[in-house]
Structure 1
Amino acid sequence: METETKLISIETITPSYPTPKSLQKHQLSYLDQTMLPSFIHLVYFYSPNPKISNSEKSKQLKKSLSEALSIYYPLAGRLVGNLYVDCNDAGIPFSEAEADIDLSQVTTNQNHTYLKKFLPLTTDDLCLAIQATFFRCGGLAVGISFAHKIGDGLSFVLFVNTWSAVARDGSGGGVALPKFDTATYAPPLDVLNELQQPAAEGLKEEEVAGRILTFSATEIAALQERYAGSNGRRPTRVEALSAFIWSVYTEIKSEPGWVGLVYKMANLRSRAEPPLSEYQFGNVIVTLRVDVAAGNSGGELTWKLRDALKEIDGGYLGRLKKREVQMEELTAHTQDSQRAMERFFFSSWCRFPFYEADFGWGGPERVINGGSPVKNVAYFMDTKSGGGIEILLQLTKSNMDKLEARLML
């Protein structure tokens, strides 16, 4: 599908109120520091609403964005090194474009490469960038690029849903305020500011291909039965799908005797004692990692990851605060980097309220993960109905060809 988009304008949106001087340095946490300097990209697609013109939508988006940036003030600043954000109210780029196609041609297309046309251009020091694309049918795409260095997927959703609530209700008075003190729970390390972190693009050894796979509730239930443990333990929906993806991936790998290092992201907010606020802003996630031999089943991966998660108990946050975890993880990372292993990443955004982002013309028809230029990644998101799950799978082009042949996609 040829998707022609034409850039109409680009302007800088700044916070509606200046950030107080006492808040002009947002300290990154250790968890922020160790995150790769990449962006979370999502595109929200909205059906036509003839009651509101494109110009009205544009004004509503920009005005409410300015107000939301006063609440999420670090997003309007600039990243400085790997230690803090200068909350200088420099603002964010807001682009507008036109697409000479209908919305339905995009939302029903499983090819992932076209999404780039609906995402804004970014620079390394930006925390946020946005592009609004208007379709000839009257539909709208809001493409958002959010610096992973300052926040995780839930932080992203918190911001977008606050922004949409301000646009819809005309005031930010009723929204919950984010908590920006994650660095007090996971203190940063000065040494990490001196290390040269590779850009996400540097991990791309071959051309990366993205493919969206959709699984219905019935298909997921069948996989849960397939990967149930001998003792009757039943995997979660995401665990079952992870096991399936891993099983297929091991089948298409032709090299004998290889060992995989599998990573999975887990939310730390609910696992802390006492639990952290659901409005805690930042990378409040922990990365689980397990070794899995090529011959191991997907079910074995499931239980290894579950056992690893048990180690992230209420005392983990206390050890982070004392900088004990930091030293252990840096040592483990160094050891991992020295091992020649096949790496695979799983990240679940299921149960995140993506579809609550109503800017005043209805909720999104579809929300699609824009991914990142990194191979061997599987991102999970609920379908709009909530019963099924969409997986954005990113593999090298050669492995994606093998997987599509294996699944006859």
Structure 2
Amino acid sequence: MNSKRNFNVKVNKTEIVAAVLPMQKYWLPLSNLDLLLPAVDVGVLFCYLNPIIISEKINVEFSSMVKILKDSLAETLVSYYAFAGEIVENLAGEPEVLCNNSGVYFTEAFADVELKEINFYNPDESIEGKLVPKKKHGVLAVQVTQLKCGGIVVGCTFDHRVADAYSANLFLVSWSELAQSKPLSQLPSFRRSSLFPRRPGYYDDSVDGLYVPIKTLPPTKTATLNPNDQVTSRIYYVTGEKLGHLQSLANHDQKSTKSQRSKIESLSAFLWKTIACGVKETLSFKNFRFGIVVDGRTRLMSNRDNNQDKLLKGYFGNVLSIPFGEKKIEELKEKPLNWVANVVHEFLDIAKTREHFLGLIDWVEAHRPEPVVAKIYATEGDGPAVVVSSGQQFPAKKINFGWGEPAFGSYHFPWAGKSGYVMPMPSPKGNGDWIVYMHLLKWQIELIEASAAHVFEPVTANYLNLI
């Protein structure tokens, strides 16, 4: 692996980029589904080769690239004004967005490393605190880093309470379109009425099994941190061939093509079983929770109201649910992969309906202003928990600011929780491979690398065709 372990990043300049048009200050309430999210930040980065390497016709200096990025960001914030605001508490103690155009902190930096030397496999070492900015103010922060080879990295950090990955993707695509003076392919919608609760509200008992008011949870125990309880981030790739093989194993005994297990279900089942198989009997916990994030936009589309469906397609905010399953570790060890895949399919089915999301909105309304949390994250002492969030819509190839497609892109989500987080997304190669970002406990990563290295292979410069 031709990677340079330690490199320095020097910040040259930080300034505030505000929307190019003056805007009237006003409050944007968070929707009931936004209120399900804790105060966590999500990072994303895109890495570009030196434009001259891509084409002799593109001869853009770093200062020109920065100007293009800043000017087009100021233009994009006119449509995505929530990203230029601040989160403040309302009188009920709930977070809201104050749309005051206070702007986005925009940092220019230089890293004494070449793109091919960056160790993407270990983002804790190469990305964290270096290429993706820490957000200190506002809702969004941006950092543009020039590399020694003339390549650049565009890193962003956004507040998850304001936007999910789908919304962040809309923003990133719009930003790159305006950088190339193209019309926006999708306008964002901030119409909260799309997610208003019903009167009277109604929700199924299954929602009580997925979410819980924070005040009902037992107090967190303060325990000495075991080195194996430390969290570690890794980025792997899984070949299309391996994904196909896992899918065929997961579909063993499936007689109907209609009930075929998807690639995300198959990979999730494999991951659940792999970690369970490595859990030692000496550990105190017996159960293992596993969840998958479901985007509700397509579920809420009625196919009857075209205007409403258009608004949902561009809806900016969180429209997520996290159904999960809980099984005994011994059972996960003993049963075949297709049995585990069936369990995954069954718990996902709960969240695949319009009624589930309408019920979830009503459930939050019934508990407001009490803060709530996804139950899978409330696992103190109950055993491990892992959440998979599909990044299949990750728009890497579309994020072209005028100097070519990214050579690499990934989410970066090193949150402080003990629950693991996994984000698969398409490889920039466009060949059916997946890039898989993992943020798991150290012992879980070690298990995966010991027994599933044939599936999860480290992302290297060689794999990305950088050398």
**TM-score of the superposed pair, with normalisation by structure 1:** 0.88
Alpha-carbon distance in 2 for matches of 1:126, 1:284: 22
For residues 450 and 299 of structure 2, what CA distance do their matches in structure 1 show? 40
Question: Is 1:273–1:315's contact at 8 Å kept on the other side of the alignment?
Answer: no
| Cα 1:226–1:195 shift into 2, 3 Å | same
Cα root mean square deviation, aligned: 3.2
* CA shift in 2, pair 1:331/1:211, >3 Å: closer
8 A Cα contact 1:262 1:290, kept in partner: yes
- Structure 1 segment 4-403 matched on structure 2, within 5 A: 4-21=8-25, 24-50=26-52, 51-81=59-89, 82-106=94-118, 109-113=120-124, 114-116=126-128, 117-123=130-136, 126-169=138-181, 173-182=183-192, 184-187=194-197, 206-232=229-255, 233-255=259-281, 258-274=286-302, 276=309, 277-294=312-329, 295-296=331-332, 297=335, 298-312=337-351, 313-320=353-360, 322-323=362-363, 333=375, 340-373=382-415, 374-375=417-418, 376-386=420-430, 387-403=432-448
Q: How far 1:204 moved relative to its partner?
A: 12
Moved over 6 A (4+): 192-197
- Assess if the C-alpha contact under 8 Å between 2:80 and 2:188 holds in 1: yes
Deviation at 1:223, TM superposition (A): 0.8
- Give TM-score scaled by structure 2 length: 0.77
Query: What is the identity, as a one-letter code, of the residue corresponding to 1:77?
Result: G
- Say if 2:376 and 2:385, in contact at 8 Å, map to a contact too: no
Show CA shifts across 1:340-369 (max 9, x none): 242111111113323201111111111022
1:290/1:196 CA distance change after superposition, 3 Å: closer
**Distance of 2:42 and 2:224 partners within structure 1:** 17
Shift of 1:322: 4.2
| SS of equivalent to 1:30 | coil
Decide whether aligned partners of structure 1 residues 322 and 270 sit closer, same or farther in structure 2, where only a CA change above 3 A counts.
same
Deviations 1:197-233 (A, max 9, x none): 9xxxx99963211111211111111111122142335
Q: Is the 8 A contact 1:211 1:394 kept in 2?
A: yes
Going from structure 1 to structure 2, the CA distance change for 1:100 and 1:343 (only over 3 Å counts) comes to same
Contact 1:380–1:389 (Cα < 8 Å) also in 2: yes
In structure 2, C-alpha distance between the alignment counterparts of 1:102 and 1:266, rounded to whole Å: 37
**Cα pair 1:182 1:284 within 8 Å, conserved:** no
Where structure 2 has 5 or more consecutive residues not aligned to the other structure, the ranges are: 53-58, 202-211, 304-308, 458-467
| Alignment partners' CA distance in 2, 1:334 and 1:221 | 29
Aligned-pair distance for 1:180? 0.8
User: Structure 1 residues 242, 327: closer, same or farther in 2, change over 3 A?
Assistant: same
- Aligned-residue sequence identity (percent) comes to 24
For residues 147 and 324 of structure 1, the distance between their equivalents in structure 2, rounded to whole angstroms, comes to 20
